[in-house]
Amino acid sequence: MTAERRGLRWLLASLALQNLGRRKARSFLLIAAVAVASGVVFTGATLMRSIDRSMAVGFTRMGADMMVVPEGALTNITAALLTVEPTDLVLDADLFAKAQLTSVSRAAPQKIARVEHSGIGSHHESADLIGFDPALDFTIQPWLVEKLNRDLQPGDVILGAGREAPLGSQLLIFGKPHTVYGRLGKTGVGTHERGVFMAFGTLDALAMSMGGHGGGSPPAVLQPGKVSGFLVELAPGAAPLQARFAILSTLKGVKVVTGDSTMSGIRQGLAALLDGILALMVLMFASTALMICVLFSAIVTERRGELGLLKAIGARRSQIVGMMVIEAVIATGIGGALGVVLGTLVMRFYERSLVYYLENVGVPFLWLDTPRMVAVAVGAIVLATIIGALGALYPAWRASRSDPYDLVRGEG
Amino acid sequence: MLSCLGLRKDYVTERGAVAAVAGIDLQVAAGRFAAIIGRSGSGKSSLMAMIGGLSRPSAGSVVVNGTDIWDLTENELAAFRNRRIGYVFQFASLLPTLRLIDNVALPAMLSRGPGRNGDAGDTYARASALLAQMGLGDHLDAYPSEVSAGEQRRAVIARALINDPAMILADEPTSDLDEQTEIEIMDELLAVNRERGTTLILVTHNLALAEQAEQIIHIARGEIVE
Ligand SMILES: Nc1ncnc2c1ncn2[C@@H]1O[C@H](COP(=O)(O)OP(=O)(O)O)[C@@H](O)[C@H]1O
Ligand SMILES: [Mg+2]
């Protein structure tokens, strides 16, 4: 109605819009097809990135594929985490560095000392002091839910989820001041829940103070160079059984503890699922682009007369192509947006069961944060319009090459 | 001034090449009214399309005011069709999804282009004046399907005039209309030729009408016959 004021672009765009309205059923099907594709891409990408992030956090939390401890040590295995129970047995801290096992990609040493009268918590409470090597650790730091805005320093401690103390506050351990550097999320593992974590150096430095408190000699594990055990991550592709054998035959006086073997199966399964989703998305993209190309070839053929007429009254090729592309972009843009809405509804609908399932298998599910979700949504819509533009471009460009007379006559 | 030299159009079909226009030389002075007559299938429409820049000749040239239009670039040719030629087709040729006023304004809008100088309001004022002049002042906002065939043809003439072209090419513009409407439409075209000095080339079966032309071009089997 307002081409008088808005000019040619508006006129061509409204022409495109009205052309869509002319074949309502066909436009509806086109929009529906694009909506399905964009919905799949949107939900796929969102779930993929969410699961990816959850796995990145979750599996490094679970982290270790196996644990190497002194023969005779007690161990605690849960679905979520392998921990070493405090004992007096120790191993050398450089055990793995020396052995150079090809089937092991990472081995994080840990020291665990169970102490009483430390000044942490109530008077008789025993507390687990857990030492780790910040450079090698891959099972503790991923649990950090909040931390000071700097690197871990000597004298810093990290508290398990079960302990309350503000970040940056002072904590006296055996009379020595420590700074609360960070707090872990809920692990579901008792020793960790109420544990106090610190770098090896910080823990070793406590040995002196412990002795001074009349508790007898400090635990053996607090000697520099000694650890309670190692959390081991296998090299990609390494078979657990062979790795276990290699470790036992190379390192003396150790015991190998493996976690729940179904875990690694699920881990692999999820990775395969993500690859599958990715392949599906690529296929979806390609087939939608082809479908739109075919559809627009038909639309262009059907409209040769009008395109010829436009050329005859002086429309340039770019204007003809532009008009068809706008038409496609409007349709696929609507379809894309619709797909995002549908995808969101579907995800909301299945959120409970999905999150429940994942958490059941030990993956704490983390949704993408809103800005990222919006970015994925915008990405899906833009992708849809790009597919539309590309799909319409070729047939429109081909038709625009013909002589107007051939177009209006229905030939060429 | 229009001049065609050695103009040919061969169509390649399954049954071999068809020489629709088989070597035509012809001149029409500016401001003239020329009539093209000939039997159906003699090549009149093919000739008109080559003159109007709608169909590339197989051979020969079409020179309008010193420019060989088939030597122009794609965009220059589009501008030529847009500014210099008003084409009235043999068939209904309005865009069905646009109102009459939009249809008439469209050629001017196309050449103004986005961002160019000139006011869309101006263009629409001219379009509505032209429609009023064609007796369609009450139907500016109507869609083509809402008016009669004769009224549609008048709107096409209004569209042909919007950019004030040098030449109107009308290919049997009234073949599908009743006699009374045909007379009215022809009167409009002749008036444009007389009052504006626009060159008019008209293909017609109506010999009485052709008699009124200053120049009669008779075509048979793709060639001019005397
Ligand atoms: N696009 C085309 N392809 C093949 N043959 C064509 C085409 N256009 C026209 N012809 C043939 O060329 C001849 C001239 O056609 P046309 O120029 O339409 O004549 P007229 O307008 O005088 O009826 C006819 O034999 C027609 O069948
Ligand atoms: Mg004809």
Tokens of A407: 């177009």
Q: E strands of B14-159, at which residues? A: 16-28, 33-37, 59-64, 67-68, 85-88
Residue range B2-225, CATH number: 3.40.50.300
Among all chains, which residue has been given the structure tokens 């002086």?
A314
Find the mean pLDDT for residues A62-82: 65
Shortest CA gap B97–chain A (Å): 6
- Judge whether A11 and A313 are in contact, CB under 8 Å: no
- Compute the mean pLDDT over every residue in chain A, rounded to the nearest whole number: 81
Residue A3: predicted pLDDT: 59
Partners of A345 in the beta sheet? Answer: none
- Judge whether A105 and A184 are in contact, CB under 8 Å: no
Using CA atoms, how far apart are residues B49 and B85, in angstroms rounded to an integer? Answer: 11
- Judge whether B150 and B184 are in contact, CB under 8 Å: yes
Residue A56: predicted pLDDT: 56
Which residues 83-142 of B have a C-beta within 8 angstroms of A?
Answer: 83, 87, 89, 91, 93, 95, 97-98, 102, 105-107, 109-114, 120-121, 124
Nearest partner of A292 among A324, A254, A251, judged by Cα: A324
Find the mean pLDDT for residues B207-218: 93
- Chain B hits for A4, Cβ within 8 Å: 120-121, 124
Lowest-pLDDT choice from A218-232, B62-76, B81-95, B156-170: A218-232
Question: At residue A60, does pLDDT exceed 60?
Answer: no
Tokens of B111: 């050449």
Using CA atoms, how far apart are residues A202 and A173, in angstroms rounded to an integer? Answer: 11
Q: Best of B10, B46, B202 to mutate for ligand 1, by most ligand atoms within 8 A of CB?
A: B46
pLDDT per residue as tens digits for the range A232-248:
888 877 887 888 888 88
pLDDT per residue as tens digits for the range A286-295:
888 888 889 8
Q: Atom of ligand 1 at shortest distance to CA of B48? A: 17
Question: At residue B5, does pLDDT exceed 50?
Answer: yes
Q: Best of B10, B15, B18 to mutate for ligand 1, by most ligand atoms within 8 A of CB?
A: B18
**Cα dist from A245 to A92, A102, A232, A251, whole Å:** 20, 12, 14, 10
Tokens of A258: 């493996």
- Judge whether A231 and A139 are in contact, CB under 8 Å: yes
Highest mean pLDDT among A50-54, A57-61, B75-79, B87-91: B75-79
CB neighbour list of residue B67: distance below 8 Å, 6 or more residues apart: B80
* CB atoms near residue B71 (< 10 Å): 11
Helix (H, G, I), strand (E, B) or coil at A164: coil
CB neighbour list of residue A73: distance below 8 Å, 6 or more residues apart: A84, A85, A87, A89, A228, A229, A255
Query: What ipTM was estimated for this complex?
Result: 0.94
Residue A12: predicted pLDDT: 80
Integer Rg of chain A from CA? 32
Using CA atoms, how far apart are residues A389 and B140, in angstroms rounded to an integer? Answer: 34
- Judge whether A358 and A53 are in contact, CB under 8 Å: no
Tokens of A51: 């699961």
Residue A80: predicted pLDDT: 39
**Cα dist from A108 to A88, A140, A232, B145, whole Å:** 19, 10, 6, 80
Q: E strands of A160-253, at which residues? A: 170-173, 176-184, 196-199, 226-227, 229-234
Which residues 310-329 of A have a C-beta within 8 angstroms of B?
Answer: 310-317, 319
Phi, psi for A111 (deg, rounded to 5): -115, 135
* CB atoms near residue B112 (< 10 Å): 19
Tokens of A37: 């594709």
**B52: contact with A, CB 8 A cutoff:** yes
Helix (H, G, I), strand (E, B) or coil at A392: helix
Find the mean pLDDT for residues A372-383: 90
Residue type at A233 in one-letter notation: E
pLDDT per residue as tens digits for the range A82-112:
556 667 788 888 888 888 888 888 889 988 8
Helix (H, G, I), strand (E, B) or coil at A107: strand
Question: At residue B8, does pLDDT exceed 90?
Answer: yes
Report CA torsion sign: B64, B82, B108, B191: positive
Using CA atoms, how far apart are residues A105 and A250, in angstroms rounded to an integer? Answer: 16
Question: At residue B4, does pLDDT exceed 90?
Answer: yes
Q: Where are the domains of chain A?
A: 2-59+268-409, 66-259
Using CA atoms, how far apart are residues A199 and B89, in angstroms rounded to an integer? Answer: 88
Residue A65: predicted pLDDT: 74
Using CA atoms, how far apart are residues B191 and B200, in angstroms rounded to an integer? Answer: 10
- Helix crossing, B100-112 with A8-22: angle to 10°? 130
Nearest residue (by CA) to ligand 1, atom 16, is B43
Task: Pick the residue of A2, A4, A323 with the most B CBs within 10 A to test the interface with B by mutation.
Answer: A4
Using CA atoms, how far apart are residues B111 and B107, in angstroms rounded to an integer? Answer: 6
Lowest-pLDDT choice from A66-70, A158-162, B7-11: A66-70
Using CA atoms, how far apart are residues B35 and B32, in angstroms rounded to an integer? Answer: 10
Residue A189: predicted pLDDT: 57
**What burial class does residue A76 get, using C-beta atoms within 10 Å of its C-beta: 0-12 exposed, 13-18 middle, 19+ buried?**
middle
- Judge whether A201 and A154 are in contact, CB under 8 Å: yes
Residue B169: predicted pLDDT: 96
pLDDT per residue as tens digits for the range A243-290:
888 888 888 888 887 755 545 556 566 667 777 877 888 888 788 888
pLDDT per residue as tens digits for the range A182-192:
998 766 555 67
**A312/B54 Cβ within 8 A:** yes
- Judge whether A284 and A40 are in contact, CB under 8 Å: yes
Using CA atoms, how far apart are residues B144 and A343, in angstroms rounded to an integer? Answer: 42
Nearest partner of A50 among A273, A318, A298, judged by Cα: A273
Residue B122: predicted pLDDT: 85
Strands B85-88 and B167-171: parallel
Terminal Cα distance for chain A, rounded: 34
Using CA atoms, how far apart are residues A4 and A188, in angstroms rounded to an integer? Answer: 69
Instruction: Choose between A268 and A152: higher pLDDT.
Output: A152
Question: At residue A361, does pLDDT exceed 60?
Answer: no
pLDDT per residue as tens digits for the range B27-45:
999 999 999 999 999 999 9
Question: At residue A350, does pLDDT exceed 90?
Answer: no
Residue A332: predicted pLDDT: 93
Using CA atoms, how far apart are residues A359 and A11, in angstroms rounded to an integer? Answer: 54
Q: Which residues form ligand 1's pocket by a CB distance below 6 Å?
A: A 409, 411; B 11, 13, 18, 20, 38, 40-46
Using CA atoms, how far apart are residues A96 and A263, in angstroms rounded to an integer? Answer: 24
Nearest partner of A259 among A138, A84, A73, A71, judged by Cα: A84
Residue A82: predicted pLDDT: 52
- Judge whether A65 and A47 are in contact, CB under 8 Å: no
Helix (H, G, I), strand (E, B) or coil at A268: helix
Closest chain B residue to the Cα of A403, Cα to Cα:
B55
pLDDT range class, residue B199, cuts 50, 70, 90 = very high
